[in-house]
């Protein structure tokens, strides 16, 4: 039995320590990428502000024709495209430069994990074939190249679309230009976030491949490998479901969601042929020991009710997602329908609530986030702010498909779930615009989210802009939620919006709701 001692930690403790060391390398990559993207933007932002101010002052509006009419504008756009190409190329260099360290960590870490299970028994030396390590480097380099290079074109297209969407100058061209530059930077940061996600995921996958070939070199000692989740209050339900499953050495993995933290731990075969996993904590016992609020945060309101009723066992918490151009991955599964879980009692498991669960109010995701992570940081480095919002996003009981949400989107999801609504996030498509989520409380209605000021004219413009831009690429956006945050619903706003579709021949809205102060208000649109 290898439960561990202060002198000889358990295999699970060794895995946690190894993951922390790998996380340091990944965090350094994050910081390096963030600095590179920030520097690239600072090189072009001043010129961009100046030329946009000139165009707005001259003709009152920036659109696609301005690229032709103003040579300086074309030069600034070319500079943006050039820097994006450089950033995409350097992303691959950043990742491949670290591969030697990553693979060395994978080899030494695997040996430590095997030794932690053999205790006093000597561990024979095994060489990992150089050809196997070279193959990992080639595969990772090819994968990074195929994902990083299109990132430049995709990000440029989004930034260009923002800069040429026909914004009017208003009373102060300089202020309007500054707002346009700020929005363009937001879109640029979307590319940066994707670059960081690519780097972290590909580095983790290379590490796991390094573990796999090292484990195969010790195949005579091993019975396979076990999926080891890092158990905590934020561990997603998919990882909990996979925790403890044993696979053959030839099986790659763990194929968890992008940026996942689960470990691949070799399982030593005992001298009598048996396997001892007593050192691995139980996911069931871990989950049962969490607070009700944490359990609900992991499963969501409907999932928690279904689990408490015995209709959503842990093995059903994961599903396989198939994606073109990337490996399959395990992601959180949706709970069964409300009808199947309603009215049930507990099933006798430790920590499972009884039949009075339906009377308990759902947790406040927003309050829980503020209690756990504190208020949003101010006057900090950009990477510190990103880490804060990534933690709040990670605490939400949804699968975001690798998307990195903006702060206002994270806050919206928290407040929307607190209001008793359920949604399924729609991952962004790099080639086409998409709605933001399916409103599962309303029969999976596809909905676009808009956070804006509580003015009818502003809302009107944002909705028409979203519909027209989507329509140009053959995509329909017709259902909208306008998020006003904590602001109360202004009197008369709904009355000003009911005639949105009147006298319109295209870009008609099918459904419109205002979300204000935690309440959803339907706009009774007059349909032509």
| Element containing residue 174 per DSSP (H, E) | helix 173-217
Q: Out of 167-171, 433-437, 486-490, pick the least confident.
A: 167-171
pLDDT of residue 199: 85
Give residue 189's Cα distance to chain centre: 14
- Of 225 and 69, the one with more pLDDT: 225
CA distance 516 to 425: 20
CA nearest to 169, candidates 70, 72, 68, 54: 54
Average pLDDT in the 151-168 region? 75
Q: How far apart are CA 430 and CA 44, in angstroms?
A: 24
> What CA–CA distances, in Å, run from 157 to 60, 184, 401?
23, 11, 22
103 and 210 Cβ atoms separated by less than 8 Å: yes
Give every CB contact of residue 156 below 8 A, 6+ residues apart in sequence. 80, 81, 84
Instruction: Phi first, then psi: give them for residue 206, nearest 5 degrees.
Output: -65, -40
**Residues 145, 162: contact at Cβ < 8 Å?**
no
Kindly tell me if the per-residue pLDDT of 64 is higher than 80: no
- What is the per-residue pLDDT for 15? 93
Q: Are 162 and 46 contacting, i.e. CB atoms less than 8 angstroms apart? A: no
227 DSSP β-pair partners? 264
Measured distance between the N- and C-terminal CA atoms of the chain, rounded to whole angstroms: 74
Q: Which two tokens stand for residue 62?
A: 């920036």
CA distances from 175 to 255, 267, 461 (A): 47, 62, 18
37 and 86 Cβ atoms separated by less than 8 Å: no
In the chain, the domains with their CATH numbers are: 13-49+70-216 (no CATH), 221-316 (no CATH), 365-523 (3.40.1350.120)
DSSP class of 275: B
Q: Which residue has the higher pLDDT, 75 or 382?
A: 75
- Judged by DSSP in three states, 521 sits in strand
pLDDT of residue 342: 29
pLDDT confidence band for 345 (50 / 70 / 90): very low
- Furthest CA-CA distance within the chain: 85
Query: Which of the four pLDDT bands, split at 50, 70 and 90, describes residue 165?
Result: low
Does the model's pTM come out above 0.75? Answer: no
**Which pLDDT score, from 0 to 100, does residue 515 have?**
95
- Average pLDDT score over the chain: 83
pLDDT digits (tens, 9 = 90+) for 306-338: 899 899 999 999 988 776 556 788 888 878 865
């Amino acid at each position: 039995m290898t439960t561990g001692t202060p002198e000889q930690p358990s295999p699970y403790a060794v895995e946690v320590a190894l993951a922390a060391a790998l996380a340091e390398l990944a965090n350094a990559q994050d910081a390096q990428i963030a600095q590179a993207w920030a520097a690239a933007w600072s090189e072009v932002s001043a010129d961009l502000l100046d030329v946009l101010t000139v165009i707005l002052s001259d003709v009152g509006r920036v659109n696609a024709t301005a690229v032709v009419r103003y040579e300086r504008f074309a030069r600034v756009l070319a500079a943006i495209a050039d820097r994006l190409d450089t950033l995409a190329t350097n992303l691959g260099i950043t990742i491949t430069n670290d591969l030697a360290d990553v693979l060395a960590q994978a080899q030494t870490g695997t040996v430590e994990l095997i030794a932690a299970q053999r205790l006093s028994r000597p561990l024979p030396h095994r060489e990992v074939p150089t050809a196997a390590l070279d193959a990992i480097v080639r595969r990772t380099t090819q994968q990074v190249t195929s994902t990083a290079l299109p990132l430049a074109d995709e990000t440029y297209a989004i930034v260009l679309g923002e800069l040429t969407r026909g914004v009017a100058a208003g009373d102060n061209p300089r202020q309007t230009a500054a707002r346009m530059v700020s929005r363009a930077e937001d879109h640029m940061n979307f590319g940066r976030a994707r670059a960081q996600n690519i780097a972290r995921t590909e580095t983790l996958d290379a590490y796991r491949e390094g573990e796999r070939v090292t484990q195969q070199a010790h195949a005579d000692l091993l019975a396979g490998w076990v999926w080891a989740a890092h158990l905590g209050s934020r561990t997603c339900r998919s990882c909990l479901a996979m925790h403890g499953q044993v696979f053959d050495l030839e099986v790659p993995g763990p194929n968890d969601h992008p940026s996942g933290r689960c470990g691949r731990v070799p399982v030593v075969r005992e001298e009598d042929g048996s396997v001892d996993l007593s050192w691995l904590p139980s996911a069931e016992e871990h989950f049962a020991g969490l607070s009700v609020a944490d359990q609900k945060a992991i499963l969501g309101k409907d999932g928690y009710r279904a689990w408490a009723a015995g209709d959503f066992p842990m093995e059903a918490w994961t599903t396989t997602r198939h994606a073109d151009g990337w490996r399959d991955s395990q992601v959180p599964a949706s709970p069964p329908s409300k009808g199947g879980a309603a009215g049930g009692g507990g099933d006798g498991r430790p920590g499972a609530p009884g039949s009075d669960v339906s009377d308990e109010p759902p947790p406040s995701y927003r309050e829980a986030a503020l209690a756990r992570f504190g208020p949003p940081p101010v006057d900090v480095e950009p990477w510190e702010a990103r880490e804060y919002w990534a933690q709040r996003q990670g605490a939400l009981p949804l699968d975001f498909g690798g998307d990195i949400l903006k702060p206002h989107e994270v806050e919206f999801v928290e407040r929307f779930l607190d209001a008793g609504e359920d949604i399924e996030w729609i991952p962004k498509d790099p080639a086409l615009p998409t709605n933001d989520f399916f409103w599962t409380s309303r029969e999976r209605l596809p909905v676009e989210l808009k956070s804006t000021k509580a003015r009818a004219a502003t809302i009107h413009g944002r909705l028409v802009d979203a519909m027209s831009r989507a329509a140009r690429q053959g995509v329909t956006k017709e259902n909208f939620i306008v998020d006003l945050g904590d602001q109360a619903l202004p009197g008369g706003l709904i009355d000003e919006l009911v005639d949105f579709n009147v006298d319109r021949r295209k870009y008609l809205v099918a459904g419109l709701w205002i979300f204000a102060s935690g309440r959803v208000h339907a706009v009774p649109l007059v349909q032509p």
